[in-house]
Amino acid sequence: MTDTVIDARGVVKRFGRFTALDGLDLTVEAGQVAGFLGPNGAGKSTTIRVLLGLLRADAGTVRLLGGDPWKDAVALHRRLAYVPGDVSLWPNMTGGQAIDLLGRLRGGLDPDRREELLARFELDPSKKARTYSKGNRQKVALVAALASDAELLVLDEPTSGLDPLMESVFTRCVLEAKAQGRTVLLSSHILSEVEKLCDTVTIIRRGRTVESGTLEGLRHLTRSTVRASVDGDPSVLSGLDGVHDLSADGNRVSFAVDNDRLGTAVRAVGDLEVRSLVCTPPSLEELFMRHYGDELSALDGSGGERT
């Protein structure tokens, strides 16, 4: 078993004139749960399809489980399981048939685990796929993937149709997979889910990697929010290096501070006869917004892009 499960560097993928991936980098080490974030149209699904050998990269190098995903597709696919973002099933087949079929095509699945997962996800396998809701179709793909022995799970927005109850079942399943030593690539919009599950995070935008690393490491690079009640005059804080968005309302004060200046800022607050102090590390949401914030403000302008 290789240590690096996914190693993509400088991947470029064009569809006609549209560049979907523009030098994307993604690394996932064995045994990690890796979060893969980005807004709609950033290229998450395209990246996953390149990793699965369904699309061929125009440039860059891609290694998956030590092989070439395009050339060695079949051999590699025996070792991974995939849950597409938009699960489409054969309308005249039951969910149970689809699970068995996908499992067999992958090289077999564990019947006991299949039963257990069906029960946990509360899925009726004897219903025809065309009568399933989006969430139930997603459960079919999840059961098929999780009941396999695959060492790598590739999950593309797997919880977008699940209710909160099922989402927590999913979370437990992923943590169990991690405990078994499996590697998980989890593309998602749901930041709380990524925060709960992921060891590392890669944030992409317009086909490029804009941030990657452990969640702790990423937090360190950004700002914390400080809220305090003080008796002294908070205006002195505005002169400090690394302090932003200072607002004072009576004796309450709040500001954001670059994490490498946090110590100085807290000392300065301490000098102001502090009565209460709350310091919040940046949430993933804030990390995310920092990279897409300007896109949000430009939304009413250009209308954005899509793949």
Partner 1 sequence: MNALTGTGTLLRFVLRRDRIRLSVWTLALVGTVAATVPALDEMFATEAQRRSRAALMDTPTGIVFGGPGYGLDDYGLGPMVVNELTMSLLIALAVMNILHVVRHTRAEEESGRAELLRSGAVGPSAQMTAALATAALVDLVIGGLVAATLAGSGLAIADSAAYGLGLALAGIAFGAVAAVCAQVTGYGRGAAGLAFLAVGVLFLFRVVGDMAEPGGNALSWLSPFAWVQQTRVYDDLRWWPLLLYPLLVCLLFAAAYALAGRRDLGAGLVPPRPGPAGAGSLLRGATALHLHQQRGAVIAWAAAVFAFAAAFGTLSSEIDTMLEENPELGAVFLGGTSEVMAGYLGTMVSYTMMAASAYAVVSVLRTRSEESSGRAEAVLATAVSRYRWFGGALVVSALSSTLIVLLGGLGMGIGAAAAVEDSSWIGTMLEAVLAQLPVALLFTALTALVVGAAPRLVPLVWAWFGYSVLATMFGGLLGLDEWLVDLSAFSMLPLLPGGEFEAAPVAVAAAVAVAAAAGGLLGFRRRDLLPV
| Residue 104 touches partner 1, criterion: CB under 8 A | yes
| Residue 92 touches partner 1, criterion: CB under 8 A | yes
Of residues 6 and 141, the one with the C-beta less far from partner 1: 141
Rule CB under 8 A: which of 36-55 touch partner 1?
46, 49, 52, 54-55
Please, what is the minimum distance in Å from the beta carbon of residue 115 to partner 1? 10
Residue selected from 63, 113, 127, 252 as contacting partner 1 according to rule CB under 8 A: 127
| Residue 212 touches partner 1, criterion: CB under 8 A | no
Residue selected from 12, 30, 41, 101 as contacting partner 1 according to rule CB under 8 A: 101
Report the DSSP beta bridge partners of residue 152.
80, 183
In the sheet where 4-15 sits, what is the strand order? 18-29, 4-15, 59-64
CA-to-CA distance for 197 and 10, rounded, in angstroms? 27
Of residues 91 and 293, the one with the C-beta less far from partner 1: 91
The amino acid that residue 184 corresponds to is V
| Residue 138 touches partner 1, criterion: CB under 8 A | no
Q: Is the dihedral of CA 95, 97, 100, 104 positive or negative?
A: negative
Dmax (CA) for the chain in angstroms is 72
| Residue 96 touches partner 1, criterion: CB under 8 A | yes
Q: Residue 206 to residues 37, 84, 156: CA-CA distances in angstroms? A: 12, 20, 17
What does the block give as tokens for 6? 């996914």
Please, what is the minimum distance in Å from the beta carbon of residue 44 to partner 1? 13
DSSP H or E segment with residue 73: helix 73-77
Rule CB under 8 A: which of 65-84 touch partner 1?
73-75, 77-78, 80, 82, 84
CA-to-CA distance for 143 and 117, rounded, in angstroms? 6
CB atoms within 10 A of CB 251: 15
| Residue 91 touches partner 1, criterion: CB under 8 A | yes
Report the DSSP beta bridge partners of residue 249.
252
Of residues 46 and 188, the one with the C-beta less far from partner 1: 46
| Residue 275 touches partner 1, criterion: CB under 8 A | no
Residue selected from 2, 59, 61, 90 as contacting partner 1 according to rule CB under 8 A: 90
The DSSP symbol for 232 reads: S
Q: For binding to partner 1 (CB under 8 A), which residues are involved? A: 15, 46, 49, 52, 54-56, 73-75, 77-78, 80, 82, 84, 86-94, 96-102, 104-107, 124-128, 130-131, 141, 154, 307
